[in-house]
Structure 1
């Protein structure tokens, strides 16, 4: 992982007008990963879409962290099931073409 992919948490918090404790709570809930390098906490840029979705749930929809955790886990399960369905459709297509 390169430094270019890392965003300081403080910078993210300032840009989105949120408290550092919110990011810390998300990390404790296992919803996001943080990286510590040289006493600075960073976010991987790949986490940004998920993190912005979480912020939307929290700020706009006023959903608490427990609710966000449930929603994120369900969305991850749906994505996994969709991926598995695509694999099965592809396999079925192979057999149907025989």
Structure 2
């Protein structure tokens, strides 16, 4: 793994003002992959968008970790339904023309 694409979790904790337990619990819930190298813990840079979304839900909306999981599951299902709806609209246009 390229260490240049990894962000140390303590850096994220201080930047976003969250505790290490926040990331640990997200990892336990399967929402986040923590990469351990020697005695340090890191997050892949590609996961930063999802991390920021979870932190926003947690801090700004005051949602607990279990609620974050529920919200993200619902958003994922909503995205799937929107994709399916768009696909059905496209198929309907084919039959209408």
Q: Is the pair's TM-score, using the shorter chain for normalization, greater than 0.5?
A: yes
Unmatched 5+ stretches in structure 1: none
Distance in 1 (alpha carbons) for counterparts of 2:49 and 2:76: 13
Residue aligning to 2:12: 12
- Report how far residue 75 of structure 1 moved: 0.7
Q: Output one character per residue of 1:57-88: Cα deviation in whole Å (capped at 9) or x when no partner.
A: 11111111111110001111112222333444
1:51-70 equivalence runs, <5 A: 51-70=51-70
1:1-98 equivalence runs, <5 A: 1-93=1-93
Unmatched 5+ stretches in structure 2: none
Distance in 2 (alpha carbons) for counterparts of 1:94 and 1:22: 48
Q: TM-score, normalised by structure 1?
A: 0.80
Look up the SS of the partner of 1:7 in the other structure.
Answer: strand
When residues 51 and 96 of structure 1 are mapped into structure 2, their CA distance, relative to the original with a 3 A threshold, is same
Cα RMSD (Å):
2.0
- Give runs of ≥4 in structure 1 deviating > 3 Å: 84-97
Q: TM-score, normalised by structure 2?
A: 0.81
